Amino acid sequence: MQGLRISPGLLPPECERLRAEVRAFLADALAEVPRAQRVRNWSGSDPEFTRKMAQRGWIGMTWPRRYGGHERSSLERYVVLEEMLAAGAPVGAHWVADRQSGPLLMRFSPDVLAPRIVPQIVRGEAFFCIGMSEPDSGSDLASIRTRAVRTSDGWLINGRKVWTSRAHRAHYMIVLVRTGERGEDRHAGLSQLLLPMQTPGITVRPIVNQLGDHDFNEVTLDDVLVPHDHLIGAEGEGWRQVGTELAFERSGPERYLSSTQLLLEMLDAADADDPRHAVALGRVVAHYATMRQMSLGVAGMLARGENPALAAALVKDQGALVEQAMPDLAHDLFGDTVEPGSPLEQAMRYTTLAAPSFSLRGGTREILRGIIAKGLDLR
Ligand SMILES: Cc1cc2nc3c(=O)[nH]c(=O)nc-3n(C[C@H](O)[C@H](O)[C@H](O)COP(=O)(O)OP(=O)(O)OC[C@H]3O[C@@H](n4cnc5c(N)ncnc54)[C@H](O)[C@@H]3O)c2cc1C
């Protein structure tokens, strides 16, 4: 049995010094941002804010200097991320690139694509979207139908991607395509390509979510041609590479810190003399403290170069449970008294509509539990 051990994380003193620096930066940078806007958390995006973070050296923090990175520790990066999320900073523009696209390029195209693209990410100038899901392939990515054919001029891509978050604002997509036949191994024949979003043949159509926001899209690819060297890693290795990418995607503190504004509003509105408030909010805060220890444990695993896939699946699954319970709790505690239009009411409204997606995006609850069960040799 592989077993599961997540050592509680401890932060060294340099992290606490950095935390003070980040808090001072946020107090200034977010001074004019109303509380109701902070509820969007990492779904909110502001390229100007991203550039300010880049100037501070807080994008590509752990990456090698040869790509423009800052060679700081994973734990220092963790502190920056958790402070950004706790404050509801609009970090969405660079989030995907910093979390997974940059690391993927450095690992699988270290000499060709990474030297060209990664410095742009570090400067806060290149935003990425994830081209995995398709209309009939979400959890079962092995069944994707978007196809790329090697021609003398480059890779010719045809197909359709869906639920592509921020494709309308991204400079690049990392697209999962079929380049060969499946054969007996249904995971064979997949590859990843770098797709500049201004390439002819790409059409991005908005899909408005139940909040009324335009966040994700349908992206159709009609005879889209990219150069041969836009292949990331090896042809046919897409399945293994996507596994690596998803481990990055699931390992961060955003998987339990998406709804911090609602928690802060509830704490603000709580009546210290009401035992119902004390018990219910005390329990949530205890859950947060536990999630934080587990999440820091995952950051520690990344720092030690260990594979955090199993632990990250557990943190994401449990984090979604904690966050999805919060809107009901808020309605139970404050539903009768909340003032219409107040920051608490706006946070309740937003989080009630946003929370169902927390156990879908980045892998559904059932898929994560399958990974956990497999990792524990339970299936
Ligand atoms: C807010 C948001 C943002 C997203 N952004 C992106 C993005 O940027 N890029 C991108 O590529 N995708 C994105 N997605 C898509 C997301 O990854 C998929 O929705 C998710 O993987 C599920 O795929 P699906 O919607 O096709 O559902 P399906 O895979 O059809 O699943 C439907 C239901 O069946 C269950 N199920 C499926 N297979 C199994 C199984 N083997 N065992 C048990 N139960 C199973 C699922 O858990 C789910 O409950 C986003 C989704 C959301 C909600």
Give the pLDDT confidence of 129-166 residue by residue, as tens digits: 999 999 999 999 999 999 999 999 999 999 999 999 99
Q: Mutation test of ligand 1: which of 133, 143, 145, 374 has the most ligand atoms closer than 8 Å to its C-beta?
A: 133
CA distance 297 to 252: 11
DSSP 248-312: HHHSSGGGT-S-HHHHHHHHHH--TT-HHHHHHHHHHHHHHHHHHHHHHHHHHHHHTT---HHHH
Mean pLDDT of the chain: 94
Question: What is residue 47's predicted lDDT score, i.e. its pLDDT?
Answer: 97
- Looking at ligand 1, which residue's alpha carbon is closest to its atom 32? 139
Q: Number of helices and strands (H, E) in the chain?
A: 13, 8
CA distance 99 to 294: 18
Q: Do β-strands 128-131 and 172-178 pair in parallel, antiparallel, or remain unpaired?
A: parallel
CA distance 183 to 298: 36
pLDDT at 297 exceeding the cut of 80: yes
- Other CB atoms closer than 10 Å to residue 186's CB: what's the count? 12
CA distance 68 to 106: 12
Question: What is residue 12's predicted lDDT score, i.e. its pLDDT?
Answer: 87
Answer yes or no: are the C-beta atoms of 303 and 74 closer than 8 Å: yes
pLDDT at 10 exceeding the cut of 60: yes
pLDDT at 320 exceeding the cut of 60: yes
Structure tokens at 376: 């524990």
Distance in Å, CA 225 to ligand 1 centroid:
28
Question: What is residue 3's predicted lDDT score, i.e. its pLDDT?
Answer: 65
Answer yes or no: are the C-beta atoms of 146 and 158 closer than 8 Å: yes
Least confident of 17-21, 76-80, 131-135, 249-253: 249-253
pLDDT at 90 exceeding the cut of 90: yes
Q: Give, in order, the Cα–Cα distances in Å from 49 to each of 30, 69, 98, 175.
A: 9, 19, 14, 27
Q: What percent of the chain has pLDDT over 70?
A: 99
CA distance 77 to 71: 10
Residue that wins the pLDDT comparison between 244 and 118: 118
Per-residue model confidence as pLDDT tens digits over 157-205 = 999 999 999 999 999 999 999 999 887 888 999 999 999 999 999 999 9
Encoded amino acid at 186, one letter:
R
- Looking at ligand 1, which residue's alpha carbon is closest to its atom 20? 138
CA distance 181 to 176: 14
pLDDT at 1 exceeding the cut of 70: no
Residue whose token pair is 């991204």: 170
Confidence of residue 307 (pLDDT cuts 50, 70, 90): confident
pLDDT at 9 exceeding the cut of 90: no
Answer yes or no: are the C-beta atoms of 163 and 144 closer than 8 Å: no
Please report which helix (H) or strand (E) contains residue 207, including its range: strand 202-208
Confidence of residue 215 (pLDDT cuts 50, 70, 90): very high
Distance in Å, CA 160 to ligand 1 centroid:
16
Residues with CB under 6 A from ligand 1: 129-133, 138-139, 163-165, 216, 357, 360-361, 363-364, 366-367, 370
Question: What is residue 361's predicted lDDT score, i.e. its pLDDT?
Answer: 93
Q: Mutation test of ligand 1: which of 139, 173, 207 has the most ligand atoms closer than 8 Å to its C-beta?
A: 139
| CA-wise closest residue to 316 among 218, 374, 233, 247 | 247
Q: Give the residue-averaged pLDDT of 328-333.
A: 97
Supply the DSSP symbol for 99. Answer: I
Answer yes or no: are the C-beta atoms of 45 and 93 closer than 8 Å: yes
Question: What is residue 2's predicted lDDT score, i.e. its pLDDT?
Answer: 56
Q: What does residue 223 show for φ and ψ, rounded to 5 degrees?
A: 50, 50
Q: Give the residue-averaged pLDDT of 329-342.
A: 96
Least confident of 13-22, 37-46, 99-108, 305-314: 305-314
Distance in Å, CA 243 to ligand 1 centroid:
15
Answer yes or no: are the C-beta atoms of 314 and 372 closer than 8 Å: yes
pLDDT at 110 exceeding the cut of 70: yes
Question: What is residue 182's predicted lDDT score, i.e. its pLDDT?
Answer: 81
- Looking at ligand 1, which residue's alpha carbon is closest to its atom 31? 139
